[in-house]
Amino acid sequence: MATADLVLSLLLLFSSLPSSIVAKDDPGHVNVSVQADYVVARTDGNFICATVDWWPPEKCDFGDCSWGNTSIKNLDLSNKILRNAITAFGTMRVRLGGTLQDQVKYTSKPCHEFKAADGDSNYEFIDGCISLNRWDKIHEFFNTTGAFITFGINALHGRVKGHDGVYTVAEAPALQCMHESLSFSDLASSSLRQGNELCGNGGKSNFLVDGNQYGLDLIAFKAMLIDEYAKFGGPPKVAAPGGFYVEDWYKNMLSTSGYGVVDIVTHHVYNLGSGGDGNLVDKVTDPKVLDNIVPTYNEVVGTIKSAGPWSSAWVGESGGAHSSGGKGLSNTFANSFWYLDQLGMVSRHHHKVFCRQTLIGGNYGLLDHDTFVPNPDYYSALLWHRLMGTGVLEASHDGHAHLRSYAHCSKNTPGGVTLLLINLSDSITFEIEINGGTKSYEREIRSRPLAKDDKDQSNREAFHLTPKDGDIQSTVMLLNGKELMLDGKNSIPALDPMVVEASDPLRIAPRSIAFVKLKDFNAAACR
């Protein structure tokens, strides 16, 4: 009995201790520090980007045919969910293109479908085309939904494949194809991209076009753009090369093309490996796997700085797992661990835009390829777009590696800061104390006198994201405990925050994600 009384006394004593004392040995208590005196990077105002590809319904991977009618050629532009999903962003960047863009011809006549290729081709499908009539419909759709378009043009037409597998240029046909593409892209495109995955270690093949030759082609293309768009006040931006990063190839391209030719340097990222990998769920919750792409981000920025400092860096395509994504992963809540972490990481590493493969199509679509209903990553992207401003802040913490933390200036809120907190752990609830430099944000809020009209400024807006029934492989996401569903008119649901006192405890449950908006952080970098 005496022993029981002693244990009870110790428990009561322990529970009465201040949290600052208990927290020293508590793995769940974490200090998150935000350096808000200056920004460490800036993103584009339309950082969120998604792709629409060319793949026909016959495209299958690992026995799964997940594309249906989602391509540039056959996507149902009258679908109300599709329209609502894009317009919910206000402005959204959409890249039109993909692997088969280098097999597309442009014509004013009715078009045939892609043909299945034989074994000697680098491509699964060949000899595609798009009609001017179809392009007019695409142009009208994206123009009326407020999208910014990056259009990928054919960069292989007119080239001859050498014995080494590298395509050399046949100048007249190649330039003719470029010229034909302009009649399609016209003023609908804010940027144009020549070719897809014609370089690098991955994709269809290595080095389909030599880096120096590609640079020469870009010079001719830029000159053509300047001439064609002179009467419209200037050409769209040139994005290149849209491939897997290889340092020497990228340096040769930039050095050969020279000053001001390439406006945007794009590279592709599939750092989770194959969509057929049975360990994808483990990968998206493993901090080491998520971090494995950081050296590439740094190297791309370093190459631009040394060989093309007039250019900016974009991730031009990334779906996490390649080959149409991972079935049972890419369209589920779990994928937001990877997706949102990459958005935070790439913005911190001086990239202006991140293009998600895909808006719709494959298993990695933001929208379901059959029903068009938003998958969890759609809501993750929309929350990022609405909450995270262009100013990137340094965020760090003293806790477990399974907590990921990122901070930006809040969008349209001078002085405000928005945190993105991702809990990869399946067992630890993290209790967060936020520090601005050396000061505790919560303690400062408690002691700060409020003006009469500033009462709401002491509130914290929280957007807690969890999976339905606690199953991270669920295709249904909950926001503050409420299931996110389309309404009866197929409209995107409201994404309302949970509003609490800023000084209240902030807890991030296991295997969950939170955006936290601090309107009164008074960040000097965000005013």
List the catalytic residues.
197, 317
**Which is it for the CA torsion 85, 86, 91, 96, positive or negative?**
positive
- Sign of the four-CA dihedral 344, 346, 352, 353: negative
As a whole number of angstroms, the distance between CA 29 and CA 87 comes to 40
Judge contact between 111 and 154, C-beta under 8 A. no
At 171, the amino acid letter reads E
HSE, side-chain direction, 13 A CA sphere, residue 277: 19
Distance CA 343, CA 50 (A): 13
CA dist list (Å): 425 to 116, 403, 469:
45, 7, 17
Q: Is the peptide bond before 414 cis (omega within 30 degrees of 0)?
A: no
Q: SS3 for 298?
A: helix
User: What is the gyration radius of the CA atoms in the chain, in angstroms?
Assistant: 25
State which H helix or E strand residue 421 sits in. Answer: strand 417-423
Alpha-carbon span 238 to 226, nearest angstrom: 11
Residue type, 384: W
Beta bridge partners, 266, equal 241, 314
Sign of the C-alpha dihedral computed for residues 360, 365, 368 and 370 taken in this order: positive
What does the alpha-carbon distance between residue 7 and residue 13 come to, in Å, rounded to a whole number? 10
How far is 320 from 364, CA to CA, in rounded Å? 8
CA distance 353 to 92: 11
